[in-house]
Structure 1
Amino acid sequence: MISASLIISVYNKSDYLKLVLAGLERQTFRNFEIIIADDGSDSAFTSEVEMLSRKSEYPLIHLWQEDDGFRKNKILNRAIIASNSDYLIFIDGDCVPHKEFIKEHFENKNEKVCLTGRRVNLSEKTTGMLTPENIKNGFLENEKFKLFADGLFGNSTDVEKGFYFKNNFLRTYFNKKKRGLLGCNFSIYKKELLSINGFDERYVYPSIGEDSDIQFRLELNNVNILSLNNIAVQYHLYHKIQPRNEANLKIFERVKASKLSFTPFGIQS
């Protein structure tokens, strides 16, 4: 039986997905499936995914929907339903996981808890240095001081979040601060997402809908958000930052005013 389902949200950029899958090949925890939640990528991308799925060491499901604007939450809801385990881990298709990433999410799971890790934001220069081969050889984990130097003298940010701690004292110390849910790095029991009807599909622009909204409604259902800073580590590949859209903010304000954990605009809609 599969222990966990890893859901990867994607839209084109097969070169980035190859880097993510290379990181997954290094995982010390092996009993999981991969669900690629594809928000309308082109035919070239889908052909690449078909080829990659044949080579994958893990069961791989590719869910695709027609490209009709940003509908990430809709395809994520489909992925929840398609998953074959009761524990779900969410990442984006531009986030390469540390080799202990799946293990830490799975071994720290608990009832009424949503785990959320953090990520290093890699510079364009560092991202350009990456290949599936050097990721498989541990480049990101073994060259942490090069990353730190790029944080000091280059354009990588949050590089301190790339340090993976095994020591329990350090784990506790660096997770004293309460942190919000990060949509590209969180995990939770499937039943908790079903209890709030999954993601709200009214959000048709990036940000808020896949993290802030989910956190707010989970907390209304007495689910605690627990930080795995420096524990569930990932490396975010460079791209231009997308601005928050006012429409998303207005939807979220209405959600907060309603104080309802169950969205009418989710899985059952």
Structure 2
Amino acid sequence: MFNASIIISFYNDFSTLKTLLEAFEKQSEPNFEVVIADDGSKEEVVSQIKQIINCYPFRIQHVWQEDSGFRKTRILNKAIVASKSDYLVFIDGDCIPHKHFVKDHLVFRSPDIIIAGRRVNISESLKQHFLKEQIKEKSPLLFFLRLIWDSITGKTRDIEKGIRVPIKFINKKFGKFNRGILGANFSLYKSALIEINGFDMRYEKPFVGEDTDLEYRLRLTGKKVFSPRFRAVQYHFIHNRQNRISETENLEILKKTKETQQAFTPLGIDELP
């Protein structure tokens, strides 16, 4: 069995996906599979994925659904069902993991704990240097210096979250239990998600709600969220986002969840065909 199933939330950005897979190829923890949760990428991209799916030393599953708008929670539930490990690590398709990313999540795994990592927000201008200098480790020091300069100029943000200190005592001492889940960087046992019926598929608008809802329902079952300081590092490429016009509908769903105190969502994994 795999030590972890890495579930990648993905839509159309094949170039960044390749960079992400290159980063997973360099992981210090080798025993994992990747499940690409594809929310309706176009046929050309699906064909490109099929061409590379067997080019990596780890198993890759491509779970796809038709493009019918934002249905991230539905495709994530499908990926959960398809996953072969009892431990799941979630990452977005526009984020790149540190080479010890998988290892760090596994170090802190516990049945009653959700591990919540954080991320460095990198400007698009550094994207071209990332694969060569950081992932392939040709010039990691040079890339770090680029990060510092980019941070000084205000383009890269949260650079301090890219510091990794592999000392468990320090990670726990300065870690926090009151942090929320970041949907692009968290992990937990698969059984914890099955217990609450996975993601609530009523969330069909982006940006707000689905991660908070999941965290809230997990807490109702007695789970805690722990964010280990200086571990589970990832890098996120900053890009333009759509206008946040959908918050009201999502917040109404979240409000109802809090009112009913129902951990098991009525529209989750059980409702998949």
Normalised TM-score (structure 2): 0.93
Q: One-letter code of the match for 1:49? A: I
Which residue in 2 is equivalent to 1:94?
94
Residue 21 of structure 1, CA deviation: 0.7
Answer whether contact 1:95 1:237 (CA < 8 A) is retained: yes
Which residue in 1 is equivalent to 2:259?
257
Determine the C-alpha separation between the residues in 1 that align with 2:163 and 2:204. Answer: 34
Determine the C-alpha separation between the residues in 2 that align with 1:228 and 1:66. Answer: 37
Determine the C-alpha separation between the residues in 2 that align with 1:221 and 1:130. Answer: 40
Answer whether contact 1:164 1:233 (CA < 8 A) is retained: yes
Determine the C-alpha separation between the residues in 1 that align with 2:176 and 2:214. Answer: 22
Determine the C-alpha separation between the residues in 2 that align with 1:36 and 1:141. Answer: 28
Residue 209 of structure 1, CA deviation: 3.9
- Aligned ranges for residues 235-246 of structure 1 at < 5 Å? 235-242=235-242, 243=244, 245-246=247-248
Q: Deviations over 1:128-162 (max 9, x none)?
A: 4333x444323695433431221122311111101
Determine the C-alpha separation between the residues in 2 that align with 1:118 and 1:204. Answer: 25
Which residue in 1 is equivalent to 2:77?
77
Determine the C-alpha separation between the residues in 2 that align with 1:177 and 1:33. Answer: 28
Q: One-letter code of the match for 2:2? A: I
Q: One-letter code of the match for 1:207? A: F
Determine the C-alpha separation between the residues in 2 that align with 1:147 and 1:18. Answer: 22
Residue 36 of structure 1, CA deviation: 0.3
Determine the C-alpha separation between the residues in 1 that align with 2:86 and 2:139. Answer: 30
Change (3 A) 1:30 1:210: farther
Determine the C-alpha separation between the residues in 2 that align with 1:140 and 1:193. Answer: 40
User: Tell me, which stretches of 5 or more residues in structure 2 are unaligned?
Assistant: none
Answer whether contact 1:117 1:232 (CA < 8 A) is retained: yes
SS class of match (1:66): coil
Answer whether contact 1:144 1:163 (CA < 8 A) is retained: no
Give the alignment's Cα RMSD to 1 decimal: 1.7
- Asked if 1:54 is matched to 2:77, the reply is no
Q: Which stretch of the first structure deviates more once superposed, 168-177 or 82-91?
A: 168-177
SS class of match (1:55): coil
User: Tell me, which stretches of 5 or more residues in structure 1 are unaligned?
Assistant: none
SS class of match (2:79): helix
Determine the C-alpha separation between the residues in 2 that align with 1:215 and 1:111. Answer: 15
Determine the C-alpha separation between the residues in 2 that align with 1:173 and 1:241. Answer: 36
* Number of aligned residues: 268
Residue 51 of structure 1, CA deviation: 1.6
Normalised TM-score (structure 1): 0.94
Answer whether contact 1:181 1:211 (CA < 8 A) is retained: yes
Q: Deviations over 1:48-80 (max 9, x none)?
A: 111221211100000000000000000000011
Percent identical residues: 43
